[in-house]
């Protein structure tokens, strides 16, 4: 009709004969498509999160930066060693060529000497036949000249012999270095390189597997969900078009009044009454009766007069669903309400649709609803959704499939005087931005990124996020207790997530990083204002985290990977480069914050689970000084507190730091801690120079007299006992030795007493130690073997000695120790495959063997004491 229309049912319902509910079908299709799109979009976002995790976070957790740095260092060290070997070979070739020249010159000198001696002999013979005094005098003069010539020739021959001997010694030393490089250094560096590569390959294999298991599988799921969503969206579009073309049963340009005087229903659940009214739709009943159900389909905007239904309300509309013009009170009172605006809004931002219902489903472009009591939400969908409830909001049964969202909205505003969701039944939502006020809050969000504008909850807030959670910059979360469990990031490196939580704060992420600031500060009287109580900042590139108190909201962590560039400008840089060249450096990071902070922070550096439970040495350095400390790996992380962030070198194991103050000598491109003039009988080109230097620097071996080391002198049993005693740190002892040949108060008495008490040494019989007896090579390794046993070190290494021609000369008591020493490379044999077990060990040999032992077991690190800082927190 062109005016108002009134339909009155005096007895019964008002229904229609058209059985087609096109709008209800369109609404159902729209919800299904929305749920499917939600699932597809979430899977797409999770693919991005997982790819970022595999590319940027997991490598740090698995220790890949450290493994890559170890491999780079190992390869550089191996290349340097090979170059050094090439240089040694070149020196040998040059020396051998020089030797040939010297041999020729020596032969000429010998010939000259022989000729001079022959001339002298002839002159002496010629003199015997002379009788004339003048001839005799002349002959004597000639003999004297020939004698001088012979002496000069002999001196020349001796000089050439010395040159020959020196050159042979030089070649022997070079060949010894060549052998050391070929049999020990390069194989060991190759082993280190191979182990580093194997470690890196293993990590890369784990990353590749993670790419397959996490990213690729999720991408396949995304593609499948996307196809499903597209198909359902096509169906929903067709259903909507069909609903728009459908004609309604009642059409009026004015108001529509529907009355059931004796009570009844308007429309049926399976067949809604189709109406189109430009004015207000009023639904009333007679006195003392009620409406049992309201089922409407509107072909345009629907303006409802207040209606009370003792049952459910199901309204589908092509246009808006709002209260009648000018009415600000309750519009719908019912038990269950399902509202669908397929082309418009439900309520308005300035005037939400006021209802008094128990259960709600609502679909529209924008949805604004205010409910006067507890509300169970089944499904609500719209670009903007705002729901205000006087009471609690509970999660109902979501329509459609997909993620089973109770609410789907780009922007969501929830207000409740009670709680939202519950611990066992959180409210499922899919939203990009959210604002909430309630007593307690339990949410499960299924969008790829949840931006929290503001959450004010005096009680508990529990958010489960299937994507990431970011800062909306409008107050964020204020709650007594907060728990966030996210699939991706919580906060961003450039914008931390701000909260104000006085009690329990629990933040976890499966595949992201955490950058969070808690602004709560207890009030202790005076002052006031906001201050940071807890901050967690993550560097996504390395996985390094910094957390602590006193950081402001703009704090960022900056991590730089330091790599030696060969341009060492100071002594500290040279020292760190030497450590790196020796394969001892796992990580070298500079860790800073973009602004100052008060108090201390906790630093966590990922090194990988393969180091779990191990103690590693860390060098903190800046401004030419270093501070050394140890930390134990827990859950793949090294953790320590500091009040002064700096650069940090993580070494490959635990080291004992010993300060050194003295001169250095360049040997083979390395600085060795001893001046070349320290001992007159130990020179830089001697094969034992480096070993003697380190033993002297460690104060384990000293000279026999001022300026003399006596490298070729025979070492005694008391000397070795003293060396081990000094290596142990010269512990205090008491009492007297049981050995009758150990004089009380002698320089070795305490050492022998200590070694005897620990079972390291044994004497001859019951009373003699043999203090001044030369120590044999097999006794030396036995002492070291027993010392290693009492230190609890691994002595399982064992080598087959059958390849040595004199292995049958090894005493039975020394056999296991010798196998162990050869397996470790402490003893490497002499000449033609000889161990020479019964030969006396020289002091130079002991220095070399002790240096090898310390490199394997003791892990002592010499540090110039000018570089060491006494203390730092």
- Provide the token pair at 675: 């001046």
pLDDT in the model for residue 655: 86
Q: What structural domains does the chain harbor?
A: 61-222 (1.10.287.620), 374-520 (no CATH), 559-654 (no CATH), 665-864 (no CATH)
pLDDT in the model for residue 534: 58
Using pLDDT thresholds of 50, 70 and 90, give the confidence band for residue 524.
very low
Identify the helix (H) or strand (E) that includes residue 251. strand 250-252
Q: Are 73 and 581 in contact (CB under 8 A)?
A: yes
Using pLDDT thresholds of 50, 70 and 90, give the confidence band for residue 671.
confident
Using pLDDT thresholds of 50, 70 and 90, give the confidence band for residue 673.
confident
- Provide the token pair at 650: 């993580």
Q: What is the mean pLDDT of residues 265-294?
A: 91
Q: Are 31 and 340 in contact (CB under 8 A)?
A: no
How far CA 481 is from CA of 134, 459, 460, 499, 513, in Å, comes to 128, 7, 5, 10, 21
Contacts of 809 (CB under 8 A, 6+ apart): 835, 837, 838
- DSSP class per residue in 745-767: TSTTHHHHHHHHHTTS---BTTT
Max mean pLDDT range (176-185, 191-200, 353-362, 740-749): 353-362
- DSSP class per residue in 66-92: HHHHHHHHHHHHHHHHHHHHHHHHHHH
pLDDT in the model for residue 335: 95
Q: Does residue 519 or residue 871 have the better pLDDT?
A: 519
pLDDT in the model for residue 255: 93
Q: How far apart are the first and last CA of the chain?
A: 88
Q: What is the mean pLDDT of residues 577-585?
A: 81
How far is it, in rounded angstroms, from Cα 45 to Cα 26?
Answer: 28
- DSSP class per residue in 399-452: -SSTT--SEEEEEEEEEESS-BS-SSSPEEEEEEEEEEE-SSEEEEE-SSEEEE
Q: Does residue 519 or residue 804 have the better pLDDT?
A: 804
**What does pLDDT average to over the chain?**
88
- DSSP class per residue in 172-241: HHHHHHHHHIIIIIHHHHHHHHHHHHHHHHHHHHHHHHHIIIIIIHHHHHHHHHHHHHHHHHHHHHHHHH
Q: Are 645 and 601 in contact (CB under 8 A)?
A: yes
How far is it, in rounded angstroms, from Cα 380 to Cα 283?
Answer: 25
Tell me what percent of the residues of the chain surpass a pLDDT of 70. 94
Using pLDDT thresholds of 50, 70 and 90, give the confidence band for residue 564.
low
**β 665-667/359-363 pair status:** unpaired
Helix axes 64-128, 133-180, angle to 10 degrees: 170
- Provide the token pair at 544: 């390094």
pLDDT in the model for residue 767: 81
Q: How many C-beta neighbours within 10 Å does residue 105 have?
A: 16
- DSSP class per residue in 302-336: EEEPPEEEEEEEEEEESS-EEEPTT--S--EE-SE
pLDDT in the model for residue 402: 64
Q: How many C-beta neighbours within 10 Å does residue 813 have?
A: 11
Contacts of 209 (CB under 8 A, 6+ apart): none
pLDDT in the model for residue 315: 95
How far is it, in rounded angstroms, from Cα 76 to Cα 67?
Answer: 14
Q: State the Cα torsion 761-765-766-772 to the nearest 10°.
A: -60
Q: How many C-beta neighbours within 10 Å does residue 563 have?
A: 13
pLDDT in the model for residue 685: 87
Which candidate, 4, 22, 9, places its Cα nearest to that of 248?
A: 22
Q: Are 496 and 516 in contact (CB under 8 A)?
A: yes
Phi/psi-derived region of residue 645, left when phi > 0, alpha when psi is between -120 and 50, beta in every other case: beta
pLDDT at 549 exceeding the cut of 60: yes
Using pLDDT thresholds of 50, 70 and 90, give the confidence band for residue 95.
very high
How far is it, in rounded angstroms, from Cα 739 to Cα 797?
Answer: 33
The Cα diameter of the chain in Å comes to 182
Q: What are phi and psi of 163, to 5 degrees?
A: -60, -40
Q: What is the mean pLDDT of residues 829-855?
A: 88
Max mean pLDDT range (289-298, 588-597, 599-608): 289-298
Which candidate, 823, 722, 822, places its Cα nearest to that of 769?
A: 722
Q: Are 335 and 329 in contact (CB under 8 A)?
A: no
Phi/psi-derived region of residue 729, left when phi > 0, alpha when psi is between -120 and 50, beta in every other case: left
Using pLDDT thresholds of 50, 70 and 90, give the confidence band for residue 560.
confident
Please, what is the Cα angle at 674 between 671 and 675, to 5 degrees? 100
pLDDT in the model for residue 130: 87
Which candidate, 362, 310, 357, 307, places its Cα nearest to that of 336?
A: 357
Q: Annotate 791-804 with b (16+ C-beta within 10 A) or e (fewer).
A: eeeebeeebebeeb
pLDDT at 111 exceeding the cut of 90: yes
> Mind listing the pLDDT tens digit for each residue in 208-237?
999 999 999 999 999 999 999 999 999 999
pLDDT in the model for residue 595: 77
Using pLDDT thresholds of 50, 70 and 90, give the confidence band for residue 622.
confident
Phi/psi-derived region of residue 722, left when phi > 0, alpha when psi is between -120 and 50, beta in every other case: alpha
> Mind listing the pLDDT tens digit for each residue in 344-390?
999 999 999 999 999 999 999 999 999 999 999 999 999 999 999 99
pLDDT at 427 exceeding the cut of 60: yes
pLDDT at 511 exceeding the cut of 60: yes
**β 427-437/449-465 pair status:** parallel
Q: Are 325 and 279 in contact (CB under 8 A)?
A: no
pLDDT at 567 exceeding the cut of 80: no
Using pLDDT thresholds of 50, 70 and 90, give the confidence band for residue 474.
low
Q: State the Cα torsion 337-229-466-220 to the nearest 10°.
A: 160
pLDDT in the model for residue 248: 77
pLDDT in the model for residue 763: 80
Q: Annotate 741-756 with b (16+ C-beta within 10 A) or e (fewer).
A: bbeeeeebbbbbbbbb
pLDDT in the model for residue 566: 53
Q: How many C-beta neighbours within 10 Å does residue 555 have?
A: 21
How far is it, in rounded angstroms, from Cα 608 to Cα 610?
Answer: 5
Q: Are 341 and 317 in contact (CB under 8 A)?
A: yes
pLDDT at 82 exceeding the cut of 60: yes
Token pair 């929830």 is found at 414
pLDDT in the model for residue 741: 86
DSSP tag of 528? -
Using pLDDT thresholds of 50, 70 and 90, give the confidence band for residue 649.
very high
> Mind listing the pLDDT tens digit for each residue in 16-73?
877 678 888 999 999 999 999 999 999 999 999 999 999 988 888 888 888 888 888 8
- Provide the token pair at 503: 């009690």
- Provide the token pair at 278: 């430009």
488 CB-side CA count, 13 A: 26
């Amino acid at each position: 009709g062109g005016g108002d229309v009134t339909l009155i049912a005096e007895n019964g319902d008002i229904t229609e004969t058209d059985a087609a509910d096109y709008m209800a079908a369109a609404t159902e299709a729209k919800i299904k498509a929305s749920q499917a799109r939600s699932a597809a979009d979430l899977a797409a976002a999770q693919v991005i999160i997982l790819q970022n995790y595999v590319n940027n976070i997991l490598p740090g957790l698995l220790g890949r930066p450290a493994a890559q740095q170890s491999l780079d260092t190992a390869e550089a060290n191996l290349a340097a060693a090979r170059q050094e070997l090439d240089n040694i070979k070149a020196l040998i070739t040059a020396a051998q060529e020089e030797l040939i020249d010297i041999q020729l010159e020596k032969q000429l000198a010998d010939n000259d000497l022989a000729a001079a001696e022959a001339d002298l002999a002839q002159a002496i013979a010629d003199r015997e036949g002379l009788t004339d005094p003048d001839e005799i005098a002349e002959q004597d003069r000639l003999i004297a000249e020939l004698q001088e010539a012979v002496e000069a020739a002999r001196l020349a021959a001796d000089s050439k012999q010395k040159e020959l001997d020196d050159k042979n010694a030089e070649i022997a030393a070079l060949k010894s270095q060549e052998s050391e490089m070929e049999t020990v250094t390069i194989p060991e560096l190759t082993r280190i390189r191979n182990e580093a590569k194997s470690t890196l390959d293993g990590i890369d294999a784990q990353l590749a597997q993670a790419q397959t298991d996490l990213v690729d599988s999720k991408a396949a799921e995304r593609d499948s969900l996307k196809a499903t969503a597209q198909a359902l969206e096509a169906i929903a579009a067709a259903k909507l078009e069909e609903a728009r073309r459908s004609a309604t049963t009642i059409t009026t340009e004015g108001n529509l009044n529907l009355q059931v005087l004796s009570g009844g229903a308007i429309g049926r659940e399976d067949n809604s009454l189709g109406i189109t009214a430009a004015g207000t739709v009023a639904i009333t009943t007679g006195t003392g009766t009620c409406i049992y159900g309201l089922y409407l389909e509107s072909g345009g905007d629907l303006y409802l007069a207040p209606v009370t239904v003792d049952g459910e309300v199901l309204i589908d509309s092509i246009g808006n669903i709002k209260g009648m013009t000018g009415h600000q009170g309750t519009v719908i009172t019912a038990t269950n309400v399902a509202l669908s605006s397929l082309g418009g809004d439900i309520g308005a931002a300035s005037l939400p649709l006021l209802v008094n219902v128990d259960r709600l489903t609502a679909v529209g472009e924008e949805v604004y609803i205010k409910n006067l009591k507890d509300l169970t939400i089944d499904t609500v969908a719209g670009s903007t959704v705002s729901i205000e409830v006087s009471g609690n909001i509970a999660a109902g049964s979501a329509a459609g499939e997909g993620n089973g969202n109770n609410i789907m909205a780009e922007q969501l505003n929830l207000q409740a005087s009670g709680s939202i969701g519950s611990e066992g039944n959180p409210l499922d939502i899919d939203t990009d931005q959210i604002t909430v006020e309630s007593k307690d809050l339990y949410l499960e969000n299924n969008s790829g990124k949840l931006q929290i504008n503001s959450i004010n909850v005096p009680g508990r807030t529990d958010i489960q996020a299937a994507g990431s959670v970011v800062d909306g910059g409008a107050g964020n979360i204020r709650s007594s207790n907060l728990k966030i469990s996210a699939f991706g990031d919580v906060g961003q490196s450039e914008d931390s997530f701000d909260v104000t939580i006085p009690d329990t704060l629990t933040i976890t992420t499966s595949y992201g990083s955490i950058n969070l600031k808690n602004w709560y500060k207890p009030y202790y009287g005076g002052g006031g204002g906001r201050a940071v109580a807890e901050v967690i900042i993550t560097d996504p590139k390395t996985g390094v985290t910094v957390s602590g108190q006193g950081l402001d909201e703009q704090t960022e962590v900056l991590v730089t990977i330091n790599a030696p560039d060969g341009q060492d400008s100071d002594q500290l840089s040279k020292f760190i480069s030497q450590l790196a060249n020796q394969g001892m450096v796992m990580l070298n990071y500079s860790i800073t914050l973009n602004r100052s902070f008060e108090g201390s922070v906790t630093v966590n550096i990922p090194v990988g689970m393969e180091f779990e439970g191990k103690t590693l040495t860390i060098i903190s350095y800046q401004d030419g000084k270093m501070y050394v400390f140890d930390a134990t790996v827990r859950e793949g992380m090294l953790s320590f507190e500091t009040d002064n962030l700096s650069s940090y070198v993580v070494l490959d194991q635990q080291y004992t730091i010993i300060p050194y103050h003295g001169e250095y000598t360049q040997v083979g491109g390395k600085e060795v801690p001893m001046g070349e003039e320290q001992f007159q009988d130990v020179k830089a080109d001697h094969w034992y120079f480096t070993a003697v230097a380190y033993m002297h620097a460690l104060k384990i071996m000293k000279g026999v007299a001022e300026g003399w080391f006596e490298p070729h002198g025979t070492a005694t049993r008391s000397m070795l006992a003293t060396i081990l005693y000094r290596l142990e740190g010269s512990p205090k002892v008491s009492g007297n030795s049981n050995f009758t040949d150990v004089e009380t108060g002698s320089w070795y008495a305490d050492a022998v007493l200590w070694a005897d008490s620990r079972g390291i040494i044994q004497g001859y019989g019951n009373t003699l130690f043999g203090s001044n007896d030369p120590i044999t090579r097999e006794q030396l390794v036995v002492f070291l073997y027993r010392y290693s046993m009492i230190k609890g070190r691994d002595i399982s290494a064992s080598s087959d000695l059958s390849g040595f021609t004199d292995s049958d000369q090894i005493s039975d008591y020394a056999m296991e120790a010798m196998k162990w020493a050869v397996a470790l490379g402490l003893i490497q044999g002499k000449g033609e495959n000889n161990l020479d077990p019964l030969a006396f060990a020289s002091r130079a040999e002991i220095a070399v063997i002790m240096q090898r032992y310390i490199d394997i077991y003791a892990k002592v690190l010499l540090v110039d004491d000018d570089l060491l800082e006494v203390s730092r927190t």
